[in-house]
């Protein structure tokens, strides 16, 4: 059964030399121009930044997390405050993850059964039972524009039996999420699982499409596998997803992964890398990362990037290094702003390249300039 198309996705153009797509997703709180990057606001805040500062980076959709917000301050409280948009002062679209990532990341603190996942709270050790129905109820209380289904993620590498078991459970949970949802003004995205097994990925996508959702995410990647393996899965999965619905690669990632994902047909991304690395004195630039604690920046009067319009680039590299050397709060804030601006500008350039029919050339350029740093950043930290 195909869900009614209440959240149109306009496929404006595709690139002739790749699978890159330029689109426009219509949601209750605004339009998302795709390809798009979503800053992570796990606990109703993008760490260290005001909402006005996030807006200034060019972001037009944020990600929040059901597990964290459900624990604190709680879905009922946020609902009583007028929903997540009003609570955090953000009037543009919001996507909420389901809590499925915590089933993976809190592996030593939970037990997964068919009914749901039983957690020990990372806050006080209390027992929490999260079912697909609970995840959807909390997301409906939050009032996000896009609610993700609850899924079961396993670390890679894993045995094919483990991967198949988690995938089958994810499909059953997705159906339960679809069946229990009551809000018509909230898009529902399913999540394609299947590890690094091509046949499982294809089968999962086909079964989720049969249920019918408003968009499709690819999950369970960037969890330990080499980037080429992730790209291979995108090459396998994306062609089988509906062309007139958005595709979301969860928890990714490095700048080069974004442009590689776009080339394979991905429309949406999220990751904590811009802000986490910003808090740790690493700045992303078009020619690769800068480690701002390094002595080479001590007397450097140039900005992080000459053509960057962000507030951080009104200062010198020497000044930004000084802020980190003296543990001033402004340093992490400025680099977080710069890094988010860099990611948004990268997506703007990707959209322009697709519109102009030159994405293949753009991709070749980025492969030469953006090797990207290694990082263990993930989508919900």
Active-site residues, by number, are 97, 270
Q: How far apart are CA 289 and CA 268, in angstroms?
A: 23
Q: How far apart are CA 191 and CA 251, in angstroms?
A: 12
Q: How far apart are CA 138 and CA 335, in angstroms?
A: 33
Of residues 243, 140, 158, the one with CA closest to residue 200: 158
- Residue 18: C-alpha distances to residues 3, 295, 364 (Å): 29, 42, 12
Q: How far apart are CA 99 and CA 103, in angstroms?
A: 7
- Coil/strand/helix, residue 76: helix
Size of the chain in residues: 381
Q: Order of strands, edge to edge, in the sheet holding 30-34?
A: 9-14, 21-27, 30-34
CB atoms within 10 A of CB 5: 11
E strand intervals along 5-89: 9-14, 21-27, 30-34, 36-38, 62-65
């Amino acid at each position: 059964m195909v869900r009614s198309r209440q959240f149109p996705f306009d496929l404006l153009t595709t690139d002739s030399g790749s699978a890159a797509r330029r689109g426009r997703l219509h949601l209750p709180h605004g339009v998302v121009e795709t390809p798009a990057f979503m800053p992570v606001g796990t606990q109703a805040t993008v760490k260290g930044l005001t909402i006005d500062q996030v807006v200034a980076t060019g972001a037009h959709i944020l990600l929040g997390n059901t597990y964290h917000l459900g624990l604190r301050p709680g879905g009922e409280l946020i609902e009583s405050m007028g929903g997540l948009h009003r609570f955090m002062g953000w009037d543009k679209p919001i996507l909420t993850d389901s809590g499925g990532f915590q089933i993976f990341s809190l592996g030593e603190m939970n037990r997964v059964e068919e009914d749901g996942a039983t957690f020990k709270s990372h806050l006080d050790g209390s027992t929490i039972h999260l079912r697909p129905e609970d995840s959807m109820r909390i997301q409906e209380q939050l009032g996000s524009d896009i609610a993700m289904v609850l899924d079961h993620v396993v670390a890679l590498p894993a045995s094919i039996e483990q991967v198949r078991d988690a995938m089958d459970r994810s499909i059953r949970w997705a159906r339960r999420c679809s069946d229990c949802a009551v809000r018509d003004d909230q898009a529902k995205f399913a999540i394609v699982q299947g590890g690094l097994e091509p046949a499982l990925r294809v089968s999962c996508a086909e079964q989720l499409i049969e249920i019918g959702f408003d968009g499709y995410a690819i999950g369970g990647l960037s969890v330990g596998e080499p980037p080429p393996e992730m790209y291979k899965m995108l090459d396998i999965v994306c062609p089988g997803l509906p062309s007139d619905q958005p595709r979301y690669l969860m928890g990714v990632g490095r700048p080069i992964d974004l442009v590689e994902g776009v080339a394979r047909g991905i429309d949406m991304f999220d990751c904590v890398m811009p802000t986490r690395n910003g808090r740790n004195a690493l700045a992303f630039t078009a020619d690769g990362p800068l480690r701002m604690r390094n002595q080479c920046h001590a007397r450097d009067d140039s900005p992080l990037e000459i053509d960057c319009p962000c507030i951080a680039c009104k200062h010198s590299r020497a000044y930004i290094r000084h802020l980190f050397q003296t543990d001033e709060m402004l340093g992490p804030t400025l680099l977080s702003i710069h890094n988010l601006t860099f990611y948004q500008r990268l997506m703007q350039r990707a959209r322009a390249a697709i519109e102009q029919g030159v994405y293949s050339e753009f991709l070749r350029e980025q492969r030469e300039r953006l090797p990207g740093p290694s990082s263990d950043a993930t989508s919900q930290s």
